[in-house]
Amino acid sequence: MNFYLQRNEASLVLADGTVFSGEAIGSLAEHPGTIATGELVFNTSLTGYQEIITDPSYAGQVIAFTYPHIGNYGIAVDDNESARPFCRGIVVRDLAHLPSNWRSVEDLEHFLNRHGVGGIAGVDTRRLTRHLREAGAMPCAFGSAPVAELLVAARGERGTVGVDLVDEVTTKEPYFIEGGPRRLVAYDYGIKRTILRHLSSIATIEVVPADTPAAEVLGRNPDGVFLSNGPGDPAALAHLVAEITNLLDAVPIFGICLGHQLLATALGAKTFKLPFGHHGGNHPVLRHSTGVVEVTAQNHGYAVMEESLRDATVTHRNLNDGVVEGISSSVVPAFSVQYHPEAGPGPHDALYLFDEFATLMDTKSLKARRL
């Protein structure tokens, strides 16, 4: 690769008309004139850009990194959270072209090109982040097309509200992951590989498509059901909530991120859209039962409305804005967290949740044998 190649100038245009200048990278550099659109959000993590880009929960979104230097340690095969990126693009201040990492197999831009993901570099991401904090996450468009054309595209972008993005990321066929002694069915709403790795330490997993009927899941006679992370608006997923409702009290349930929101909805709660979401690896969360503060990784644009909770207690709370970060049902064997315990920026603050799920499955199984 010629690292001194002259790049095409590009613009990032928000739906409110705000314009940022930069240079096209990734597939936008490979295909001049292409326009990328999506809901623009910012992520505050200092590292982990590969895991962030390959997290299926970013489907429909464009990721702006607040950390200024992205790509400096390249791409490592084992760090992908899914088979390919589902995000619509990335926005960075400085894109590194010479990665330094013994595990790296390619640079970030080559990875973006290979997967058809575009981006824009050279953007004043500090000013961009300040704007999104004030105005909220919003649709955007970027590319080398004229600003007026990009503005039309940005305003024509639907965003994530009311959109079923899970269908885009879920597996099409069930598959197994060998693991611990328990039998677990995991609903794939956009599941991360790191979650599967932690779950496999406690159970053998069958991962099933998001729309798998509850009757089919129960027919597999699992010890527990896991509800995964995933993208978009939980209010657009009533058909998935209906199946979760049919699982309540029949099997222990554990949910993470979107799975948390869907479980809460099945328990009667409502969700709402956050102004700019929680995206980053440094969110403090209070665990009410112990008073311990956990350092957590988060990636979500929606949250559970606390006043709408019924038959459930709040177990965890975000100390930045008070958002519900965990619930436990008081009537059925089910609990969930909004954050990502598998990501471990703490680094191991929340891994106990997988052990708690194992205990819940064992307790339920013991009760069934006694009956």
Helix (H, G, I), strand (E, B) or coil at 202: coil
Contact 228, 256 (CB under 8 A): yes
Q: Please state the φ and ψ torsions of residue 337, each to the nearest 5 degrees.
A: -135, 150
Establish whether 342 is a catalytic residue: yes
What would the two tokens of residue 191 be? 């599941």
What would the two tokens of residue 100 be? 């330094």
Report the alpha-carbon distance of residue 167 to residue 164 in Å, rounded. 6
Contact 191, 223 (CB under 8 A): no
Identify residue 326 by its one-letter amino acid code: G
Q: How buried is residue 195: exposed, middle or buried, by Cβ count under 10 Å (0-12/13-18/19+)?
A: buried
Marked catalytic residue, from 131, 257, 260, 300: 257
Residue 207: count of CB within 10 angstroms of its CB: 22
Report the alpha-carbon distance of residue 15 to residue 260 in Å, rounded. 30
Residue 127: count of CB within 10 angstroms of its CB: 11
What would the two tokens of residue 185 be? 């069915």
Instruction: State how beta strands 61-65 and 35-43 pair.
Output: parallel
**Cis (ω within 30 of 0) for the bond into 347?**
yes
Q: Chain-centre distance of CA 339, in angstroms?
A: 9
Laid out side by side, the sheet with 324-329 consists of: 175-177, 203-209, 182-188, 224-227, 253-256, 334-337, 324-329, 312-318, 271-287, 292-304
Establish whether 257 is a catalytic residue: yes
Contact 361, 341 (CB under 8 A): no
Q: Which residues are tagged catalytic?
A: 257, 340, 342
